[in-house]
Amino acid sequence: MAVLLLVAFVVVPLLELYVIVQVSHGLGVLPTLALLLLISVAGSLLVKREGVGLFRRFQAEVGQGRVPTDEIVEGVLVLGAGALLLTPGFVTDGVGFLLLLPPTRAGLRRLVVSRVQRRASTVVGAAQMGARGGTWVWATTTRRRSPTDVGTASVVDTTMAERSLPTEGSSGGQRHRSDSDEDER
């Protein structure tokens, strides 16, 4: 994390400054500033156009009762592109324009979605512990694929055990919850 912060707040600004100075030596100071301003204005218009299109796709997905995962991830990427395009500098502008290209966004979207799914399955597969009114609940879940799964659908098996907190004179025994326990509540 420290390396990422170092790159973001030290290396990138120094690189941007170097590139701006080199461009201003070739074009002059005023043309360089005008070019940076022109790139920012053009970038903001492109971000607006892409954002409106994504919002329409988002609404269509929600209207059809589907979770708009791709549209959300692409929206975050377009937002990042907008931030990069508004940041003065040629390097960040180049990265921002790359993020606006649909093929680049599609590749990054697949990368982000697969990484999030991998992390989510790790978290879901780990033992989770929470407190609930004097009772500690340990829940372990495992994900398994069956031959009938389609796309990203999966079967989730869950087992849960409750352990009462020990009080004076009790051992804090463990019991498994069943459906009949839910009916009693």
The residue-averaged pLDDT of 68-73 equals 91
The residue-averaged pLDDT of 31-44 equals 95
If one compares 179 and 31, the residue with the highest pLDDT of the two is 31
Average pLDDT over the chain, rounded to an integer: 78
Contacts of residue 159, defined as CB under 8 A and 6 or more positions apart, other chains included, come to 139, 140, 141, 176
- CA 119 distance to own-chain centroid: 11
Residue 4 confidence (pLDDT): 87
At position 118, the amino acid (one-letter code) is R
Residue 53 banded pLDDT, cuts 50, 70, 90:
very high
Residue 8 banded pLDDT, cuts 50, 70, 90:
confident
- CA 114 distance to own-chain centroid: 11
Contacts of residue 73, defined as CB under 8 A and 6 or more positions apart, other chains included, come to 109, 112, 113
Domain ranges of the chain: 24-121
Q: Which of 42-56, 63-77, 78-92, 144-158 has the lowest mean pLDDT?
A: 144-158
Residue 165 confidence (pLDDT): 52
The residue-averaged pLDDT of 134-159 equals 50
- Return the exposure string of 26-54: e unless at least 16 CB atoms fall within 10 Å of the residue's CB, then b: eeeeeebeebbeebbeebeebbeebbeeb
The residue-averaged pLDDT of 104-119 equals 89
Residue 136 confidence (pLDDT): 46
If one compares 77 and 172, the residue with the highest pLDDT of the two is 77
